């Protein structure tokens, strides 16, 4: 008995691969792998894990496992299943169209599309029911109220302002009567500027302080005898403020050089410097600087 290989083992192996049937051959072919199995084999061949596929396609890991097991229920319907199959097939290098066609064949085929014409026809036949637009109604009501109030205000202003406009020298309007235009009233004298005598009419049982930003803007703060803040703001050039209290008024002038003061009817003649901050206190009787 020979221990080595026999001569018969040295002979070339005959080609025993099955003959490929030609196109005319109608013999049944071996069924290929399922959709899920094909995706799984292609993923493994590509050296990818389920986590890699999930990260690349944004398809959840649980759904990838279910599809590879040919369980398409977690996809949420055939439409979503087809979309996931296309995405996974592209990720592993398979033809998405072939796998989707195989999925349709395994699940009764793609459903026939619903004709568009009946849908549009039904939409025309069934009109949409809309409730009342309460927002638009409220807006319209508000606009009407505002318009009525504005008209009443303008109407009242026209009736009461004709006399004043003629008294100040304005030309009579076209709507005035002929008698009014024929006898224009003498223009009133211009209103005089405040004088020492006018301010002197302030009550003697109170302290009255008038602050005027005569030469520029200045920050002003005023308090009463209880420390309650009467004013804390900037006076623009030409603006004035008057403060009264039963006992005293405390002032802080941010730019004292720009301020003109009248206290209890008397003008304060202190030589305040521009940009200087002054803290003053005035009481009843003669002005006092605190």
Tokens 């986590």 map to which residue?
A: 51
- Residue 173's SS3 state is coil
DSSP 29-44: PPP---HHHHHHHHHH
Q: String of b and e for 245-283 (b: at least 16 CB within 10 Å)?
A: beebbbbebbbbbbbebbbbbeeeeeebeeeeebebbbb
CB-based burial of residue 38 (10 Å sphere; 0-12 exposed, 13-18 middle, 19+ buried)?
buried
Measured CA angle at 66 (ends 63, 69), to 5 deg: 150
pLDDT tens over the chain, length 290 residues = 444 444 444 344 444 344 444 444 454 556 678 998 999 999 999 999 999 999 999 999 999 999 999 999 999 899 999 999 999 999 999 999 999 999 999 887 665 554 544 444 444 445 556 666 788 888 888 988 898 888 887 776 555 544 444 334 445 455 444 444 555 566 665 554 544 444 545 677 898 989 999 888 888 999 998 999 999 999 899 999 999 998 889 989 888 888 988 988 888 887 788 888 888 898 877 665 44
Long-range contacts from 43-51, C-beta under 8 angstroms, 24+ separation: 43/68, 43/88, 43/91, 43/92, 45/92, 46/92, 46/93, 48/91, 48/92
pTM of the model: 0.32
Q: Provide the CATH topology of domain 196-283.
A: Lipoxygenase-1 (2.60.60)
| 263 φ/ψ sector (left φ>0, alpha ψ -120 to 50, else beta) | beta
Tokens 């009579």 map to which residue?
A: 172
What pLDDT score was predicted for residue 22? 47
Q: Could you say which DSSP state residue 280 is in?
A: E
Instruction: Give the Cα separation of 220 and 164 in Å (integer).
Output: 35
- E-assigned strands of 30-135? none
CA 69 to chain centre: 49
Stretch(es) of the chain classified as CATH 1.10.260.40:
35-106
CATH superfamily ID and name for 35-106: lambda repressor-like DNA-binding domains (1.10.260.40)
Stretch(es) of the chain classified as CATH 2.60.60:
196-283
Are 80 and 66 in contact by the 8 Å Cβ rule? The answer is no
């Amino acid at each position: 008995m020979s221990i080595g290989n026999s001569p018969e083992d040295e002979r070339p192996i005959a080609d025993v691969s099955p003959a490929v049937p030609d196109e005319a051959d109608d013999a049944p072919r071996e069924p290929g792998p399922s959709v899920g199995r094909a995706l799984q084999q292609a993923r493994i061949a590509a050296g990818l894990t389920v986590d890699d596929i999930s990260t690349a396609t944004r398809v959840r890991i649980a759904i990838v496992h279910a599809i590879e097991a040919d369980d398409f229920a977690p996809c949420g319907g055939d439409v979503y299943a087809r979309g996931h199959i296309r995405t996974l097939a592209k990720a592993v290098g398979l033809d998405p169209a072939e796998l989707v066609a195989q999925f349709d064949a395994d699940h009764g085929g793609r459903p026939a599309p619903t004709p568009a014409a009946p849908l549009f026809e039904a939409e025309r036949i069934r009109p949409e029911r809309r409730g009342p637009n309460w927002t638009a109604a409220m807006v319209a009501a508000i606009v009407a109220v505002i318009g009525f109030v504005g008209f009443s205000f303008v109407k009242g202003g026209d009736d009461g302002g004709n006399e004043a406009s003629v008294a100040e020298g304005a030309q009579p309007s076209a709507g005035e009567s002929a008698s009014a235009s024929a006898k224009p009233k003498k223009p009133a004298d211009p209103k005089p500027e405040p004088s020492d005598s006018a301010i002197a009419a302030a009550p003697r049982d109170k302290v009255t302080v008038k602050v005027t930003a005569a030469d520029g803007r200045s920050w002003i703060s005023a308090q009463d005898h209880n420390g309650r803040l009467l004013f804390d703001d900037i006076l623009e050039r030409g603006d004035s403020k008057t403060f009264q209290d039963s006992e005293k008024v405390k002032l802080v002038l941010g730019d004292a050089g720009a301020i003109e003061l009248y206290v209890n009817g008397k003008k304060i003649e202190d030589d305040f410097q521009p940009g200087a901050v002054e803290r003053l206190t005035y009481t009843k009787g003669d002005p006092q600087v605190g």
